[in-house]
């Protein structure tokens, strides 16, 4: 049973991490890039505004960071819970 | 050396490279044929995934779409990259742990149902075949433009090449060929972009040049571009002009559609470990981003160059401070030779409607609300916009010529376009042949088939798939042009939700999954057909395909998001009302959630 409990704790920790990453993923693209763009219009970036930057460049860069962050955190989680390979 | 000889040498050399790799990486077993024996390093797989994913549409069409759509088309940039976050966190690691060969195989095992597997196969075939036709036509067009052969000859040459390395090498051969194709296509995309960014903004990096200063006018480049296009009555480049809801749903449909594309998912079956699948998705996005962060610069800068060519005054000062480009300049000036070249292809055309010897380029629709433009039109007696055809695709293909780059750059762009189309075609053909030989022949028709027999079946179905794709490429049916709506809509509304529920819910059962997939797919297809015509036969649409007629302003291409929601809701409700999945299926779900054990060979 201890195996199952450990993998449950592992799974819960994984879900928490996924939620965190998904919130950031949504905020930079749907948030800053589209819905919140009018709110951010005051912040100018290179001849346009912050929302445009997020829509055409910023969100892609954040996506890359997010995936490597997730991979790094999961490797640690795998080891902590003894489920790594 | 003539341009033609140069093109021939560069394209010939790239083809020789692909064939060399194919001979070196022959597949000897089904594990090699379907999954490269799970021995591909995460970085290599990332590069191969990038080439697999970036198609003729990414390489040739996307910058042109951005050039004329500006901010409004940002959904392509966010949608076609954001899907990799979903893949890395929600699908790839668990499907790698599952450790089998095809996407329908997971659906069949997880939902203990042959019916679910067959529905998966049908969705996969519709998605992949729609997608592959576009690649084959892309190969034909590139050949005919650069190697002066007919489009159909080009198509057969491309098909023969794919046949050699895909049938011989399977996933193993395709992987290493895709790595080489990635290198070719990224060089081809980046070099002209760097030259152009340097000319306009003094930045070598297109990514920073886009937000830099336009040298000739001293204004920020994007501010200058906005000014020039609005002077001519076009919508501003950086502004938002459409429905916010539709932009959100379209971005979402592209993201979950990307994550649900079978030919992308199976690439993550080739890495040794679960941890590698996560990391590999990150590398894939790095390599994709090298093109996707350059594309907005290519789009905006080529739009500026085109406009400044038509109105020479726009380069340094006011758009109308000098007369428009003259007909005799277009016909004689050496630096405008590209206009005559591309007029021959029909992708660019002009007409001196008012007979003043000048070609005035402006937006007829914008003239009504733009007083300075209306004054110019009255003063010069304009009878309408005189740059009558500008095809999106020339923004990338003609880019090196517009910027007067050396002939070898043009040859590399040709090889890059072919690499983009061929690498995606090969990945799609592998997904198709896997579904036929593994899911249909071994899974349903002849389960007792030997390893050798299945490998032969896989090779034969690959050969037949190539033949079918080529014939469809020669005579593209109506649905080929609807790749974005059809392939992404289906992947978003069927495959993505069913895979996600299979991994994240232990309660989801066979009845729920089947009902969900059917509801999602049927709703999406009916919505698309309502506006695009039944089975894309023109004239059979029941409502006009315009924003006013769309339900809540949701375009057919964005509807995949709604289809996915329908899938989730129906699946949940049906699963609640029917009995739980058997204990061994719950065990399977528990086991794919932990990485340990993925390295061990799976019984097959």
A52 contacts on B by Cβ (under 8 Å): 71, 74, 222, 238
Q: Which of B421, B446, B474 is where one domain is finished? A: B474
Q: Are B63 and B278 in contact (CB under 8 A)?
A: no
Q: Tell whether the model's pLDDT for residue B123 goes beyond 80.
A: yes
Chain A residues with beta carbon closer than 8 angstroms to that of B249: none
In this prediction, residues A34-43 reach a mean pLDDT of: 94
Task: With respect to residue B146, please indicate whether it lies within any of the assigned structural domains.
Answer: yes
Residue ranges of alpha helices (H) inside B148-217 are 151-162, 168-201, 206-209
Place of tokens 């690691």: B93
Say yes or no: A37 contacts chain B, CB-CB below 8 A. yes
- Phi, psi dihedrals of residue B213, rounded to the nearest 5°: -100, 135
Q: What are the two backbone dihedrals, phi and then psi, of residue B220, each rounded to the nearest 5 degrees? A: -60, 140
Contact of B84 with chain A, judged by CB distance below 8 Å, is answered with: yes
> CA of A19: which chain B residue's CA is closest?
B89
Per the listing, tokens 């021939």 go with B8
Task: Tell me if A48 and B222 make a contact (CB, 8 A cut-off).
Answer: yes
pLDDT band at B346 (very low <50, low <70, confident <90, very high): confident
Same-domain status, B264 and B331 = no
Tens digit of each residue's pLDDT (9 = 90 or more) over B280-298 = 999 999 999 999 999 999 9
Whether B89 sits inside 8 A of A70 (CB atoms) is yes
Which residues of chain B are within 8 Å of residue A64 when distances are taken between CB atoms? Answer: 282, 285-286, 289
Among B285, B503, B597, pick the best mutation site for testing chain A contact (most A Cβ within 10 A). Answer: B285
- Domain containing residue B322: 301-402
Cβ contact, residue pair B90, A18, below 8 Å: yes
> Is B557 part of any domain?
no
Residues B326 and B446 occupy one common structural domain: no
The answer to whether residues B280 and B428 belong to one domain is: yes
CA distances from B285 to B95, B105, B181, B207 (A): 19, 26, 16, 16
Measured CA to CA, the distance from residue B564 to residue B95 in angstroms comes to 20
Stretch B107-123: mean pLDDT: 96
Does residue B233 surpass a pLDDT of 90? yes
Write out chain A residues lying below 8 Å of B277, CB-based: none
Question: Could you tell me if B456 and B386 lie in one domain?
Answer: no
- Measured in angstroms, the CA of A74 and the nearest CA of chain B are apart by 8
User: Within a domain: residue B448?
Assistant: yes
From the list A25, A52, A71, the residue facing B282 with the nearest CB is A71
Residues B300-321: what's their mean pLDDT? 91
B18 touches chain A (CB under 8 A): no
Last residue of a domain, one of B413, B443, B474: B474
* H or E element that contains B589: helix B583-592
Contacts of A53 in chain B (CB under 8 A): 211
Which tens digit of pLDDT belongs to each residue from B494-514?
A: 999 999 999 999 999 999 999
| CB-CB contact of B285 with A67 (8 Å) | yes
Share the mean pLDDT of chain B: 92
Cβ contact, residue pair A57, B78, below 8 Å: no
Quick one: B419 and B381 in the same domain? no
pLDDT tier at B603 (50, 70, 90 boundaries)? very low
Query: Do residue B73 and residue B194 come from a single domain?
Result: yes
Please report where in the chains the tokens 């999106």 appear, as a residue.
Answer: B392
Distances (CA, A) of B170 to A23, B11, B224: 39, 23, 50
Q: Are B330 and B391 within one domain?
A: yes
B378 to chain A, closest Cα gap in Å: 32
Last residue of a domain, one of B383, B402, B421: B402
pTM: 0.94
- B152 and B97 within one domain: yes
Assess if residue B140 is contained within a domain. Answer: yes
Nearest to A10 by CA among B305, B594, B400, B525: B594
Indicate whether B427 and B340 sit together in one domain.
Answer: no
DSSP, collapsed to helix, strand or coil, labels residue B213 as strand
The predicted pLDDT at position B98 comes to 94
Co-location of B444 and B323 in the same domain: no
Please answer whether residues B468 and B157 qualify as being in contact, where contact means their C-beta atoms are separated by less than 8 angstroms: no
Q: Are B454 and B442 in contact (CB under 8 A)?
A: yes
Domain count of the fold of chain B = 2
Q: At what angle do helices B168-201 and B295-310 cross, to 10 degrees?
A: 50
Q: Which two tokens stand for residue B233?
A: 């009555």
N-terminal to C-terminal alpha carbon distance within chain A: 21
| B552 inside domain | no
Q: Which residues, in sequence order, are bridge partners of residue A49?
A: A44
Q: Is residue B498 part of a domain?
A: no
pLDDT at A3: 53
Over residues B428-446, the pLDDT tens digits come to: 999 999 999 999 999 989 9
Residue B521 lies in a domain: no
Tens of pLDDT, residues B453-491: 999 999 999 999 999 999 988 888 877 778 888 999 999
Query: Based on the domain organization, do B175 and B324 belong to the same domain?
Result: no
Q: What is the pLDDT of residues B41-56, one digit of tens each?
A: 999 999 999 999 999 8
Is the pLDDT confidence value at A62 over 90? yes
- The partner residue sitting opposite B282, judged by closest CB among A56, A67, A82, is A67
- Nearest Cα residue to B488 out of B439, B540, B524, B516: B524
pLDDT value, residue B480: 73
Q: Is B475 helix (H, G, I), strand (E, B) or coil?
A: coil
B409 and B390 share one domain: no
Question: Do the domain assignments include residue B211?
Answer: yes
In this prediction the ipTM stands at 0.95
B587 touches chain A (CB under 8 A): no
């Amino acid at each position: 049973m201890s195996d199952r409990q450990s993998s449950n704790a592992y799974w819960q920790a994984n879900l928490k991490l996924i939620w965190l990453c998904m919130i950031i993923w949504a905020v930079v693209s749907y948030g800053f890039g589209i819905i919140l763009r009018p709110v951010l219009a005051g912040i100018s970036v290179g001849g346009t505004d912050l929302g445009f930057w997020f829509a055409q460049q910023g969100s892609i860069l954040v996506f890359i960071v997010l995936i490597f962050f997730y991979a790094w955190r999961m490797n640690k989680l795998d080891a902590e819970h003894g489920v790594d390979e | 050396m003539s341009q033609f000889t140069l093109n021939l040498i560069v394209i010939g050399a790239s083809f020789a490279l692909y064939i060399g790799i194919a001979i070196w990486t022959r597949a000897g077993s089904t594990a090699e044929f379907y999954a490269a024996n799970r021995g591909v390093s995460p970085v290599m797989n990332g590069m191969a995934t990038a080439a697999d994913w970036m198609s003729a549409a990414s390489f040739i069409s996307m910058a042109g779409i951005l050039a004329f759509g500006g901010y409004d088309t940002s959904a392509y940039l966010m949608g076609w990259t954001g899907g990799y976050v979903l893949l890395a966190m929600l699908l790839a690691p668990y499907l790698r742990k599952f450790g089998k060969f095809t996407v329908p195989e997971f659906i069949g095992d997880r939902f203990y149902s042959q019916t679910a597997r067959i529905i998966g196969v049908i969705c996969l075939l519709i998605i992949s075949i729609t997608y592959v036709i576009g690649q084959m036509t892309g190969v034909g067009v590139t050949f005919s433009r650069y190697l002066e052969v007919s489009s159909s000859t080009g198509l057969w040459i491309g098909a023969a090449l794919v046949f050699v390395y895909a049938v011989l090498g399977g996933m193993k051969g395709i992987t290493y060929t895709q790595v080489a194709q990635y290198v070719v296509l990224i060089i081809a995309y980046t070099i002209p972009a760097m030259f152009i960014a340097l000319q306009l903004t003094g930045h070598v990096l297109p990514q920073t040049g886009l937000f830099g200063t336009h040298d000739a006018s001293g204004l920020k480049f994007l501010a200058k571009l906005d000014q020039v296009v609005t002077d001519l009555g076009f919508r501003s480049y950086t502004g938002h002009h459409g429905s916010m809801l539709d932009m959100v749903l379209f971005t979402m449909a592209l993201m979950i559609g990307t994550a649900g594309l079978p030919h992308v998912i199976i690439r993550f079956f080739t890495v040794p470990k679960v941890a590698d699948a996560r990391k590999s998705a990150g590398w894939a996005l790095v390599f994709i981003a090298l093109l996707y962060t350059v594309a907005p610069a290519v789009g905006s800068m080529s739009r500026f160059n085109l406009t400044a060519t038509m109105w020479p005054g726009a380069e340094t000062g006011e758009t109308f401070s000098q007369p428009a480009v003259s007909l005799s300049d277009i016909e004689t000036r050496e630096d405008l030779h590209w206009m005559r070249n591309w007029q021959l292809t029909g992708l660019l055309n002009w007409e001196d409607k008012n007979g003043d010897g000048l070609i005035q380029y402006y937006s007829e629709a914008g003239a009504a609300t733009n007083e300075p433009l209306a004054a110019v039109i009255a003063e010069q007696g304009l009878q309408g916009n005189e740059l009558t055809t500008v095809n999106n695709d020339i923004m990338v293909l003609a880019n090196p010529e517009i910027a007067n780059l050396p002939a070898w750059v043009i040859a590399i762009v040709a090889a890059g376009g072919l690499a983009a189309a061929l690498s995606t075609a090969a990945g799609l053909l592998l997904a198709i042949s896997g579904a036929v030989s593994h899911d249909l022949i071994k899974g349903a028709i002849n389960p007792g088939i030997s390893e050798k027999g299945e490998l032969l079946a896989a090779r034969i179905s690959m050969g037949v798939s190539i033949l079918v794709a080529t014939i469809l490429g020669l005579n593209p049916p109506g649905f080929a042009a609807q790749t974005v709506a059809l392939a992404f809509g289906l992947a978003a509304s069927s495959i993505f939700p069913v895979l996600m529920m299979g991994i994240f819910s232990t309660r989801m059962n066979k009845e729920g999954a089947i009902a969900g997939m059917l509801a999602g797919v049927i709703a999406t297809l009916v919505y698309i057909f309502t506006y695009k015509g039944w089975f894309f036969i023109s004239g059979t649409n029941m409502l006009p395909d315009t924003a006013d007629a769309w339900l809540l302003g949701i375009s057919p291409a964005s509807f995949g998001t709604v289809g996915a929601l329908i899938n989730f809701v129906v699946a949940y409700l049906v699963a609640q009302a029917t009995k739980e999945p058997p204990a061994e299926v719950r065990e399977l779900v528990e086991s794919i959630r932990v990485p340990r054990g993925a390295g061990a060979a799976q019984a097959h």
